[in-house]
Structure 1
């Protein structure tokens, strides 16, 4: 199928990278096998084949192709990125006690927490095996740094998410850890494996960083104004799980004593009652928090697009620029 006739940019990317993606999928199927523990492919298959967009591995493939790479190892790196992502999802669902992921029951619900944690550990180990097969120390450093940053971001979120003292700077630090670190690493390693110079790999990193931040801000916004069928989540899940995300941080910053007491009761202390979500939504609207959050997401998408301006013209570059626009179009 001609990629130019497909409407959504991530679908155009998938069509343009179809052969590479098939190689990634074959490698994932091969490496998630386990001779001694059949539970591993069972759990992994449930998540890997759940209809995810493969966005992160596509960033690696697109970045490498954009930079003129014609070797085999971009497929290894893309599979590495997907394994790291899948491992973090398995762990996140246990930490968050989630029951739904991409509109389906989570692995921890279908099996148990122990299986999710241990299979996640297995996928992390597999990701490091894949990294080393490239023989490139730079990509090993970038992806292992990203794995450490992701874990650090998750731990920071655990302490910051229910503390009204959490401000936008701390939120950004959490988002850079839990989401943007893998986006930026996925882009950067594509340039590194292609042998590009520091300026080009920095531009790729900057695109991934800004795209990842925009992506997470949009996700946090959709939790308060999205449709469950489209997001695979229930509206207000973050509120019920007492997560202090950007819309609430903005509302808390403008809250008077009475409103602050409401946020303290519902988020910090977790004493939620019927009608609290509706009241929370009314406060978000009152202080323009949802619109301000939307504008932040748009600004980060603009940063992502601008970072690619230094790279040579290429169909894949244009698709990545369109992808940044599409990420924020989800909130219109």
Structure 2
């Protein structure tokens, strides 16, 4: 690897290595998001899919399959399935969260309406199931359908846990495994399954995706209290304003004095927020070392992701996946 390659972001290197496969995935996505009878479906879908996302999750499927020597066509179908599931969840999430912006653009529910977003999301879920059966593998079907159910379960759990000060780190981890890590781990796992490798290697890919997804979400939570709007694709403090109990706040609540707990109860549980509350929240997070501890957790999960790759074959893709785990947490390092 030359010096120029060394300084490029791991995600860019991975995208370059997988460019022909990703072109096939994108072509399949465009083909399958079409609808003869409901033109709003491709309109809404294209608004989100063509918005410039990195396509990280489908790339993980392609990377796993390529790393393990798969030579057939169906990794493309599985990668497109993963992207459709992801896009469907984004459409639904923006309705639930009443979001107005994603990736610097107005959300679909703002441009059209909530009904369109929900129903197009449902259509994409249906399309994803059509795609996932085409490889003819019951095991990949089981993995991806389980992931879809886990994602929905995690979102429902978050509805009840996000504004409850009784939410602890175990519940937080369960939510994160549902809403984020489940699709990361399914994406990598099916790449190994379609390649027909031993169970130990498939498990290693699952572990990699799981740990990477958890690190990814913790970093997002941290950046919400200390990142730029450009870095996090939203405004700093949005999680606080939306009364979400993320990992730094959970840690601060666990160490809070009665007076501090009353502050968190007022702002998060009751939603009674006033000018200066975000600044006070940031002060409490710093006072109790909550940000530093959450940062260590993210780095630990990234290290677990890297370690899980060790039993996989030596390959440039393996190195890129290892570097990707570092890159995910680089913004908070």
The residue correspondences of 1:28-39 to structure 2 (distance < 5 A) are 28-39=29-40
Q: Which residue of 1 aligns with 2:293?
A: 292
Q: Structure 1 CA distance, aligned partners of 2:170 and 2:12? A: 33
Alpha-carbon displacement from aligned partner over 1:22-52 (angstroms, at most 9, x marks no partner): 0000000000011111111111111101110
Q: Which residue of 2 aligns with 1:260?
A: 261
Q: Which residue of 2 aligns with 1:64?
A: 65
Q: Unpaired runs of 5+ in structure 2?
A: none
Q: Which residue of 2 aligns with 1:169?
A: 170
Q: Which residue of 1 aligns with 2:179?
A: 178
Q: Which residue of 1 aligns with 2:148?
A: 147
Matched, 1:122 2:95: no
Q: Structure 2 CA distance, aligned partners of 1:277 and 1:197? A: 50
- Deviation of 1:104 after TM superposition, in Å, equals 1.2
**Matched residue of 1:267: which SS?**
helix
Q: Structure 2 CA distance, aligned partners of 1:105 and 1:156? A: 27
Matched, 1:328 2:326: no
Q: Which residue of 1 aligns with 2:284?
A: 283
Check whether the contact 1:90–1:117 (CA below 8 A) recurs between aligned residues: yes
Q: Which residue of 1 aligns with 2:42?
A: 41
Q: Structure 2 CA distance, aligned partners of 1:86 and 1:167? A: 29
- Deviation of 1:5 after TM superposition, in Å, equals 5.9
Q: Structure 2 CA distance, aligned partners of 1:330 and 1:183? A: 20
Scaled by the length of structure 1, what TM-score is found?
Answer: 0.98
Q: Structure 1 CA distance, aligned partners of 2:178 and 2:109? A: 23
Q: Which residue of 2 aligns with 1:232?
A: 233
Range moving further from structure 2, 63-72 or 5-14: 5-14
Scaled by the length of structure 2, what TM-score is found?
Answer: 0.98
- Deviation of 1:6 after TM superposition, in Å, equals 6.0
Check whether the contact 1:6–1:12 (CA below 8 A) recurs between aligned residues: no
Q: Structure 1 CA distance, aligned partners of 2:49 and 2:40? A: 14
- Deviation of 1:4 after TM superposition, in Å, equals 3.3
Check whether the contact 1:102–1:231 (CA below 8 A) recurs between aligned residues: no
Task: Go from structure 1 to structure 2 and tell me whether the alpha carbon gap of 1:190 and 1:318 turns closer, same or farther (over 3 Å shift).
Answer: same
- Deviation of 1:230 after TM superposition, in Å, equals 2.1
- Deviation of 1:188 after TM superposition, in Å, equals 0.3
The residue correspondences of 1:106-121 to structure 2 (distance < 5 A) are 106-121=107-122
Q: Which residue of 1 aligns with 2:221?
A: 220
- Deviation of 1:17 after TM superposition, in Å, equals 0.2
Q: Structure 1 CA distance, aligned partners of 2:55 and 2:38? A: 25
Q: Structure 2 CA distance, aligned partners of 1:327 and 1:144? A: 26
Q: Structure 2 CA distance, aligned partners of 1:242 and 1:4? A: 42
Q: Structure 2 CA distance, aligned partners of 1:313 and 1:54? A: 24
Q: Structure 2 CA distance, aligned partners of 1:11 and 1:224? A: 27
Alpha-carbon displacement from aligned partner over 1:271-318 (angstroms, at most 9, x marks no partner): 111111011011001111111111000000000000001111000000
Task: Go from structure 1 to structure 2 and tell me whether the alpha carbon gap of 1:128 and 1:6 turns closer, same or farther (over 3 Å shift).
Answer: farther
Alpha-carbon displacement from aligned partner over 1:211-247 (angstroms, at most 9, x marks no partner): 0000000001110000002221000000000000000
Q: Structure 2 CA distance, aligned partners of 1:242 and 1:144? A: 30
Q: Which residue of 2 aligns with 1:76?
A: 77
Range moving further from structure 2, 6-15 or 298-307: 6-15
Q: Which residue of 2 aligns with 1:89?
A: 90
Q: Structure 2 CA distance, aligned partners of 1:157 and 1:166? A: 10
